[in-house]
Amino acid sequence: MEKPENQYPFLLACRKQPTPYTPIWLMRQAGRYMKEYRALRKKYSFLEMCKNPEMAAQVTLQPIDKFKLDAAIIFSDILIPLEPMGVEFEFAKGEGPVFHRPLREMKDVERLKIIEPEEEIPFLMQAIRIVRRDLEGKIPLIGFSGAPFTLASYMIEGGHSRDYTLTKGLMYQNRPAWDLLMEKISEALIRYLNAQVRAGAQALQIFDSWVGCLTPGDYEEYVLPYSKRVMDGVNKSVPLIHFATSSSTLLERMKQAGGDVIGVDWRVDLGEAWTRIGYDVGIQGNLDPVVLFGPVDLIKKEVKRILDQAKGRPGHIFNLGHGILPNTPVEHVAALVDMVHEYSSRKRNSNTQIPNNK
């Protein structure tokens, strides 16, 4: 039976409300570190798994069955909305996504379609509905998308990049094409995210995985207006998490772009980051994923350090600073979840939680 929103610690934290303990979920919590996932992956390609609603739902729930996580996140990929826009790609073995016709000119941008998510990506919406049914109201479900800049970079670079020369080249040298591309992506993402909410997503996260390559000035001029447009256009009935990697120089501008919660990676002190963005928004993070390869005592030390930085303020969601890495010991993930719950609960009971505005 579905609980009211005020009974989910994760959703309360998203709204900066007090919680009995610090809620925790993990980026890429459904994935390669779990033997159950690897067993499926031997039989099916990654995209096959994303496009099969029953299988995507099964993978989403694998970590929920194993760990005491406070939220599930739908199993999918940030690139999923690009295919119906007219951008072909594949996941090449050992190389990640490869785009067959990268966007380099205005004519490439002009041919992009604006998607109708329920019609063109029905498998994701069905997977969300299945997960909501199977969760039986135990914990909430997160939907997600990439951010405009990160998706634009994939389309322009043709895959991963180290220096984003082609992306920045288009941005600097062909402003009309850049603006049209970002406008089309933004409109597609608004539709895509709102469709996930209609299907049953109870929170959303926007991943700007590559935006850390920009200067603060370039972010403000070329990216912020479009990220803000997406976040302003998303259904306000669900909380929105805005996450980026290598973004310590961009935090204040990310807040301007929007989000109920700002997600930070491990390259910035969480307490410092929260002071900079202000306590009127929540914060998510920020354990280095590699710490989970260390001994349990180290994990415990780092958990306490991050929770102490948050000072028990309402609005902290514990997470990694990026996704769980392959080969992460499963028993360390279980220990992490338990540590966060136990230590933060003790801090609450000792009356260390402080108000939102301090």
* 145 bridge partner residues: 206
SS3 state of residue 209: coil
Active site residue 33: no
Whether omega for the bond prior to residue 286 falls within 30 degrees of 0, making it cis, is yes
Instruction: Count the alpha carbons within 13 Å of 87 in the hemisphere toward its beta carbon.
Output: 31
Instruction: Write down the catalytic residue from 15, 32, 129, 267.
Output: 32
Q: Could you tell me if 217 and 252 are in contact, meaning their C-beta atoms sit under 8 angstroms apart?
A: no
Please pick, among 8, 28, 226, 265, the residue that the annotation labels catalytic: 28
Residue 32 bears catalytic tag? yes
Residues pairing with 208 in the sheet: 244
Would you call 141 exposed, middle or buried from its count of C-beta atoms within 10 A (0-12, 13-18, 19+)? buried
In angstroms, the CA 348 to CA 354 distance is 9
Residue among 245, 299, 217, 355 at smallest CA distance from 262: 245
- What is the distance between the alpha carbons of residues 97 and 79, in angstroms, rounded to a whole number? 9
Is 70 tagged catalytic? no
- The catalytically annotated residue of 15, 37, 41, 218 is 41
Phi and psi at 285, nearest 5°, equal: 145, -170
Residue 206 phi, psi dihedral angles, 5° rounding: -110, 125
132 catalytic, yes or no?
Answer: no
Which among 15, 37, 77, 338 is annotated as catalytic? 77
Measured between alpha carbons, how far is residue 263 from residues 34, 183, 251 in Å? Answer: 24, 24, 9
Q: Which of 65, 64, 9, 6 is nearest to 341 (CA)?
A: 9
Indicate if 232 belongs to the active site. no
> Active-site residue among 8, 21, 33, 154?
154
Cβ atoms 142, 75 nearer than 8 A: no
* Residue 338 contacts residue 345 (beta carbons within 8 Å): no
What does the block give as tokens for 135?
């969760």
E-state strands within the chain? 72-73, 89-92, 96-99, 141-146, 203-208, 240-244, 261-263, 282-284, 316-317
* DSSP-assigned states of every residue in 255-266: HHH--SEEE--T
Catalytic machinery residues = 28, 32, 41, 77, 154
